[in-house]
Every structure is written in structure tokens, then in C-alpha cells.
Amino acid sequence: MLERARAGAMNRITVYERADFEGLRREFSCDVPDLHELDFGDCIASLKVVGQPWIAYTGPKYEGEAHVFEEGEYAAVGRPRSFSALRLVHHDLAEPQITLYEQPHFQGARKVVTEETNLAYGYFNDRVGSHEVQRGVWLLYQHPGGGGRHCLAWPGERLARYEPQPVAWGCVSPPSRSRRR
């Protein structure tokens, strides 16, 4: 698995055990469901991304909190040493589109979004009850700027209800325009 994960590709992520790109490092060009199997779980303190965005998860098998990293260098990542899985965003990020619904089960007011949007600035109530993604990958943030609770939404996804209730999503953003932390 390690050899397959290291295979060269245009899209890649290089992770380091210490801040400022110091210490042990590993480079990956494909999804890694469990970094512990490669002896690199829960030790990432800095990273570099080339190409498409990557998602780092706090739990193995893409479970737990998700953090999106776009192309660039991150000399220090928030909450270092907590990532257990990495996933490349394979989807086309051009012309993203998501439909947000005010109520669960695709009911109530709806808003079609095609770019980063702060829902507090418009007429749409920022309490979103459900969504469906037509194109692209989307990040839904509780607070503008990326703070609070997050939701990652994939192409074709139809989420009929947020548990336990509608969530006050303050901002929606495709990863290509997401905020760095």
C-alpha cells in the first residue's frame, strides 16, 4: 500500500511530523484511509498540497472532523497531530452548484448557490434543513470564515435532514474558494 500511495501524480500532498516542514515526511497521491497503517497517524504538523484540494480527517476511514487543504503550503496546521486519514478531492470543481432548503426533506424556501456565499447577507434564512449537490464539492460552515460546525457535501449528495435539527450554516463555499486555517 505504501508504494501505491507514493506513486507520482500531479495531485499530491506531502505531510511532515513537525511544523515548518521539519522532521519525517511522507508524500501521497491517492487516498489514504488509515495513516496508522503507514506509521504516520496522528503526527502531521505541517503539509504541502499540489493540485486538487485534500481532506484530512481526524479519524481513520474518513471519519471524524474533516479539514480541507487547498493547493499551497501550510507551515502549521490547526490542532497538529490529529489526522488519521487523507482523501484527495477527485471531483471536478468547475461550475459548482448546490441547492439549499430551509426545511428538512427539501421543503420550504430554497436557494441555488454557485459560489462562496454568506447566507446572513441575503433574504434566505441561514437555518438550512437539507441540501442537494448538483456539481462540485461544497463546504458548509456554521460561521463565515470557516468557524464552528462543518459539513462536507459531495456531488450527487441529497441530504434530507441534518441531525438533530436544521443547522445555522452561515457560509457555503466550494473548496477552491475555501478559507485556509
Give the residue among 39, 53, 65, 64 at the shortest CA–CA distance from 26: 39
Give the residue among 166, 89, 175 at the shortest CA–CA distance from 131: 166
The answer on 81 and 31 residing in a single domain is yes
The answer on 109 and 58 residing in a single domain is no
Answer with the one of 61, 88, 115 that is the final residue of a domain: 88
Answer with the one of 69, 88, 107 that is the final residue of a domain: 88
pTM, entire model: 0.75
**What is the CB neighbour count within 10 angstroms for residue 82?**
19
Domain span including residue 169: 97-177
Per-residue pLDDT tens listing for the chain (181 residues): 333 343 445 999 999 999 999 999 999 999 999 999 999 999 999 999 999 999 999 999 999 888 889 899 999 997 767 899 999 998 888 899 999 998 899 999 899 999 988 887 877 766 788 999 999 999 888 777 777 777 888 899 999 987 755 566 767 777 653 333 3
